[in-house]
Amino acid sequence: MEPLAAHPARCSGPKAKVFAVLLSVALCSAMLLLLQLKLLKPKINSFYTFEVKDATGRPVSLEKFKGKVTLVANVASDCQLTGRNYWALQELHREFGPFHFSVLAFPCNQFGEAEPRPSKEVVSFVRNTYGVTFPIFHKIKILGPEAEPAFRFLVDSSKKEPRWNFWKYLVNPEGRVVKSWRPEEPIEAIRPEIADLIRQMIIKKREDL
């Protein structure tokens, strides 16, 4: 009987080379597909597509504010700028709202730890102290990996990241950021911009009739 031929230690024939080529092609195709899916992912271009939480923790769709001009601010109760900014925001809300305009306030404790209160206490405090009637939402984070996506959209769109409490972002009826202000800037600098956006909005609605 003839001895059995020894098997080779490894497969290095033509079939192995073909398999390696096919595997490489498959991996490259998969990587290209993943990249394409990432690039094709729809880009969010409206503030009003986000969902946030109200002061009690219930979800609120910002879609309800679409079609209005909004001024969004990060607020705090125990800041040296609190009084004048809340008075100014309430004045703007009373002057231009509620049909064409609204102030939207998001408490945040990341700047000087100036908002230690729970969200519901914030609402009670600002209503009793400053007569606030505009929406106060759930306390959020603005900086870092836990930043609220809706507020991060404002920051990314404007390229202006808040460095203190009461940073303000003006959002048009379509949900795009058109301007931002530092907390020290007076209400007189903000009022004309709001009035102009509202005027444009009303003209457009009349033209669409």
How large is the average pLDDT for residues 95-122?
A: 96
Cα angle 113, 116, 86; round to 5: 85
Give, rounded to a whole angstrom, the gap between the first and last alpha carbons of the chain.
Answer: 100
pLDDT digit string (tens) for 113-134?
999 999 999 999 999 999 999 9
Active-site pick, 11, 28, 79, 108 = 79
> Which contiguous run of DSSP H or E holds residue 104?
strand 101-107
Reply yes or no on whether the pLDDT at 137 is more than 70. Answer: yes
The maximal CA–CA distance of the chain, rounded, in angstroms, is 106
Reply yes or no on whether the pLDDT at 161 is more than 50. Answer: yes
- What's the pTM? 0.79
Instruction: For the chain, give every domain's residue range.
Output: 47-208
pLDDT, mean over the chain: 88
Establish whether 108 is a catalytic residue: no
Residues in the chain: 209
**Share above pLDDT 70 across residues of the chain, in percent, rounded to a whole number:** 80
**Token pair for 62:** 């910002």
pLDDT digit string (tens) for 31-56?
666 655 544 445 679 999 999 999 99
CATH number for 47-208: choose from 3.10.105.10, 3.40.30.10, 3.30.1330.10, 3.20.10.10.
3.40.30.10
